[in-house]
């Protein structure tokens, strides 16, 4: 799909992690065609509660509205065991969040754009900086690479080997 708006989404899971990242990528590919994908990182659950997460960022061209995309992503999460409001232990089978939708800013169809977690969480910012280092954040005007280089929170990321559809997204050499 060549028309539409450039969308970046964050994908994470800490339950059957590789499977659920693959499920999300399969759905996005089926819906939007070609995907640009970041490497995959492991991170501890925010607040230290729950199993470690695998996180990544995907980018694609979409011609759906923000609301349509948000609804489809929530349905995808729900279809793969996401239990909203029952995740007190920090467990999520699948979490897919719209990070940016073109250059839109503000609350659009109930979705915050750009998503605040871009500037707060290493597991969002680092994969975004890997995937789109020269792209400008819609509100602060810095590139994602500049933002990553200035990032000073103490969240630790661990690169992990991950392949999807015989495509090696990240590989850790030991």
What is d(CA 97, CA 112) in angstroms, rounded to the nearest whole number? 10
| Residue 129 C-alpha from the chain's centroid | 12
Evaluate whether 50 touches 90 at the Cβ level (below 8 Å).
yes
In contact, 96 and 39? CB cutoff 8 Å: no
For residue range 80-109, list pLDDT tens digits in order: 876 656 554 467 889 999 999 999 999 999
Structure confidence at residue 1 (pLDDT): 43
Alpha-carbon distances of 148 from 90, 105, 127, rounded to whole Å: 25, 21, 10
Instruction: Provide φ and ψ at 28, rounded to 5°.
Output: -60, -40
| Structure confidence at residue 66 as a pLDDT band (50, 70, 90) | very high
Q: What is the pLDDT of residue 39?
A: 96
* pLDDT computed for residue 149 by the predictor: 96
- Dist. CA 7–CA 59, nearest whole Å: 5
- 48 has pLDDT over 90: no
- pLDDT tens for each residue of 106-152: 999 999 999 999 999 999 999 999 999 999 999 998 999 999 999 98
- Which residues are paired to 17 by β-bridges? none
For the chain, strand residue ranges (E) read: 5-13, 36-37, 41-43, 53-62, 95-101, 106-108, 111-113, 157-159, 162-164, 167-170
| pLDDT higher than 70, residue 17 | yes
Write out the two tokens for 26: 């399969």
> What are the CA-CA distances from residue 152 to residues 17, 122, 143 (Å)?
27, 9, 16
- For the whole model, what pTM was predicted? 0.92
Q: Residue 14: is its pLDDT beyond 50?
A: yes
């Amino acid at each position: 799909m060549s028309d539409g708006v450039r969308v970046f989404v964050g994908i994470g899971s800490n339950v059957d992690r590789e499977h659920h990242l693959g499920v999300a990528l399969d759905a996005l590919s089926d819906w939007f065609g070609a995907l640009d994908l970041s490497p995959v990182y492991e991170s501890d659950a925010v607040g230290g509660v729950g199993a470690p997460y695998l996180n990544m960022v995907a980018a694609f061209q979409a011609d759906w509205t923000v609301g349509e995309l948000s609804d489809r992503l929530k349905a995808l999460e729900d279809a793969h065991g996401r239990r909203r409001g029952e995740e007190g232990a920090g467990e999520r089978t699948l979490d897919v969040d719209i990070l940016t939708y073109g250059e839109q800013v503000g609350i659009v169809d109930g979705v915050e754009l750009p998503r605040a977690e871009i500037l707060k969480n290493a597991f969002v910012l680092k994969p975004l900086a890997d995937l789109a280092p020269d792209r400008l954040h819609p509100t602060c005007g810095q590139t994602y690479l500049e933002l990553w280089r200035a990032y000073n929170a103490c969240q630790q990321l661990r690169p992990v080997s991950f392949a999807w559809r015989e495509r090696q997204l990240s590989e850790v050499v030991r």
